[in-house]
Amino acid sequence: MSPRDMARWQESRIKDTWRVFRIMSEFVEGFERLGTIGPSVSVFGSARTPEGTPYYDLAIAVGKELADRGYAVITGGGPGIMQAANEGAHKAGGVSVGLNIALPHEQHVNPYVDPAHDITFEFFFARKTMFVKYAQGYIVLPGGFGTMDELFESLTLIQTRKTAHFPVVLMGSAYWGGLLDWIRGTLLEGGYISVDDPDLMVLTDDPVEAVDVIDRFCAEAGISTNF
């Protein structure tokens, strides 16, 4: 290794060491600021869903229903479905939380996030920890890769018992129906998942039913953080 390469390698190691402290600071800030919001539900969905569309309006209804029943609404803080869920919670007088992620050219926090509950993360894994730790359930509306990532990570955590069980509600039967058919017809039939695994998710188009699922879980299991 040349002296120049050695210097670059040492510089990289130093940067990695300091990165640990930045990661720690994100966890500390998240724990401190979210630890007092009370019972909450994380709502996921596409940042690309335009205002005034059926799924946007559905997310508003979900946010309002959650707030009316005393749950804080946690989203990724961006536009689309996230904004709609925050809008519903905000207009209902509930707690509206946005866990934003710093991305090049996007995304900016939506206007319906409470200023006191606007937190921006550099690291996806720190942000995703907060979605799970402080929520009594997930409600997942249609979305792309990011939404799928959050959905399947939650199912993996529950399946492997790396977190306490919590309800995962899918909203939008026209959108999710094909995926659930594939899970049952390909994953389950092929022996890639257990017979009970598809039941980790509940599918509905009704905001009231979606929140009922979470209410029943909380009544049976008690209210607590997940790990």
Which domain CATH number covers 61?
A: 3.40.50.450
Q: In a structure prediction context, what are the per-residue pLDDT tens digits for the chain, which is 227 residues long?
A: 666 655 565 556 557 777 888 889 999 999 999 999 999 999 999 999 999 999 999 999 999 999 999 999 999 999 999 999 999 999 999 999 999 988 766 568 999 999 999 999 999 999 999 999 999 999 999 999 999 999 999 999 999 999 889 999 999 999 999 999 999 999 999 999 999 999 999 999 999 999 999 999 998 887 654 43
Considering the domain architecture, whether residues 27 and 83 belong to the same structural domain is answered as: no
Task: Write down the pLDDT at residue 106.
Answer: 58
Same domain, yes or no: 84 and 159:
yes
Phi and psi at 40, nearest 5°, equal: -150, 165
Q: Do residue 82 and residue 21 come from a single domain?
A: no
Would 106 be classed as within a structural domain? yes
Q: Is the same domain home to 68 and 94? A: yes
Could you tell me the residue range of the domain that residue 27 belongs to? Answer: 1-31
Q: Tell me, yes or no, whether 45 and 19 share the same domain.
A: no
225 token code pair: 């953080």
DSSP string, 95-118: -EEEEEE-BTTB-PPPTTS-GGGE
Q: Side chain identity at 24, as an amino acid letter?
A: M
In this structure, the answer to whether residues 92 and 12 fall within a common structural domain is no
Q: Residue 118 has which token pair? A: 């606007």
pLDDT for 213? 97
**Is 225 within a domain?**
no
Q: For residue 118, list its beta bridge partners.
A: 98
User: Residue 84: inside a domain, yes or no?
Assistant: yes
DSSP classification of residue 193:
S
Question: Which pLDDT value is given to residue 20?
Answer: 85
Give which of 110, 57, 106 is closest to 83, Cα–Cα: 110
My answer on whether 14 and 101 are in the same domain is: no
Q: What is the 3-state secondary structure (H, E, C) of 62-101?
A: HHHHHHHCCCEEEECCCCCHHHHHHHHHHHCCCCEEEEEE
Using omega within 30 degrees of 0 as the cis cutoff, is the peptide bond preceding 10 cis? no
* Number of domains the chain is built from: 2
CB 96 within 8 A of CB 77: no
- Is 172 found in the same domain as 84? yes
Q: What's the N-to-C CA distance of the chain in angstroms?
A: 45
95 and 54 belong to one structural domain: yes
Q: Are residues 113 and 201 in the same domain?
A: yes
What does the pLDDT read at residue 221? Answer: 81
In a domain, 227, yes or no: no
* Number of neighbours of residue 174 by Cβ within 10 angstroms: 10
The answer to whether residue 74 sits within a structural domain is: yes
Q: Counting Cβ atoms within 10 Å, is residue 214 exposed (0-12), middle (13-18) or buried (19+)? A: buried
Question: pTM for this one?
Answer: 0.88
Residue 27 shares a structural domain with residue 94: no
In a domain, 226, yes or no: no
What is d(CA 89, CA 113) in angstroms, rounded to the nearest whole number? 9
Residues 18 and 110 in one domain: no
Euclidean distance between CA atoms 95 and 18, whole angstroms = 34
